[in-house]
């Protein structure tokens, strides 16, 4: 089993990865193509040297200033990409939990300030010590506190993050050096400098998110169980296609539901289970 929410999250991560790779490529190529200009005309303005660029007036600086400006811009982009990746992770967790609430109406509503993923595991009755390596739990904490370090700069999160770096950083470093296919490109869990990012760190975080959420998805799907998931998908399918089902007829509705289940949760619903589904009054 695999949720559609996980597929969507991985798609978002791939887009972030591609956007960062594109920016790095374009800036590097700009330097290669204009290296001579940047050196020989460093005191000239962008409006003079790049007059054909219609945006040059919006960024009217001396060429000598471009590198410093790029460093500042790139730092902002890297922070923004990290925050966006974390935000998409929370969206993934929350939307999957909302599906779980459809499957089990006794589950409480998730509040805005809930700790993700800790509170979701708690509400679902998932014992983290039985389902995750302790170092994976520390990784969730590290990433969350790294996010808080940017958004809140200081406070309790700074101290908690420093504690993880000091006492658990080496264990995390060893875990992800071996767990990731190509190892770590630049992320150092023992580094105390946590308010900025390198491009290599962002690629590492994207890869870590991919692996962690694959496991999260597997654990949550197993907790819900295939039968409960199919039952919930059946309810969704009937609600979404209420008007079409009558015209489709039983056999076509059954085929479409089988495809729907495969797309949503990668479940191959058996013929026996499909035959037991009541599609109501059909043509």
- Percent of the chain at pLDDT exceeding 90: 90
Peptide bond into 117 cis (omega under 30): yes
Element (H, E) at 88: helix 66-103
- For the chain, the average pLDDT equals 95
Residue 154: per-residue pLDDT: 59
CB-based burial of residue 121 (10 Å sphere; 0-12 exposed, 13-18 middle, 19+ buried)? buried
Residue closest to 205 by CA, chosen among 21, 104, 81: 81
Q: At what angle do helices 199-224 and 155-179 cross, to 10 degrees?
A: 80
pLDDT in tens, 153-184: 655 667 899 999 999 999 999 999 999 999 99
Distance CA 189, CA 171 (A): 9
pLDDT in tens, 18-60: 999 999 999 999 999 999 999 999 999 999 999 999 999 999 9
Residue 158: per-residue pLDDT: 78
Q: What is the mean pLDDT of residues 55-70?
A: 93
Q: How confident is the model at residue 104 (pLDDT cuts 50, 70, 90)?
A: very high
Distance CA 144, CA 196 (A): 15
Please identify which residue in the block is written with the tokens 């790049």: 50
Residue 280: per-residue pLDDT: 82
Domain residue spans of the chain: 4-224, 226-275
CB-based burial of residue 233 (10 Å sphere; 0-12 exposed, 13-18 middle, 19+ buried)? buried
Residue 152: per-residue pLDDT: 80
Q: What is the mean pLDDT of residues 196-211?
A: 98
Per the CB < 8 A criterion, the answer to whether 209 and 91 are in contact is no
């Amino acid at each position: 089993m695999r949720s559609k929410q996980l597929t969507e999250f991985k798609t978002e991560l791939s887009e972030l990865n591609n956007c960062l790779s594109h920016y790095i490529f374009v800036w590097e190529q700009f330097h290669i193509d204009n290296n001579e200009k940047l050196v020989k005309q460093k005191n000239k303005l962008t409006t003079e040297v790049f007059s054909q660029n219609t945006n040059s007036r919006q960024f009217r600086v001396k060429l000598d200033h471009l590198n410093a400006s790029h460093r500042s811009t790139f730092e902002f982009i890297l922070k923004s990409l990290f925050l966006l990746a974390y935000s998409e992770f929370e969206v993934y967790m929350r939307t999957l939990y909302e599906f779980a609430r459809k499957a089990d109406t006794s589950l409480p509503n998730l509040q805005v300030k809930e700790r993700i993923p800790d509170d979701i595991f708690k509400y679902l009755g998932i014992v983290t010590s039985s389902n995750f390596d302790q170092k994976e739990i520390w990784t969730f904490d590290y990433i969350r506190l790294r996010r808080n370090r940017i958004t809140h700069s200081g406070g309790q999160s700074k101290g908690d993050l420093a504690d993880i770096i000091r006492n658990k950083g080496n264990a995390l470093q060893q875990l992800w050096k071996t767990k990731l296919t190509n190892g770590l490109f630049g992320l150092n869990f023992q580094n105390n400098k946590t308010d900025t990012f390198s491009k290599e760190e962002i690629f590492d975080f994207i890869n870590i998110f991919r692996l962690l959420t694959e496991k999260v998805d597997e654990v949550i799907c197993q907790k819900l169980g295939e039968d409960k998931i199919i039952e919930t998908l059946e309810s969704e399918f009937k609600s979404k296609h209420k008007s079409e089902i009558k015209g489709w007829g039983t056999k076509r509705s059954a085929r479409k539901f089988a495809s729907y289940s495969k797309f949503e949760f990668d479940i191959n619903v058996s013929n026996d289970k499909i035959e037991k589904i009541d599609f109501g009054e059909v043509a």
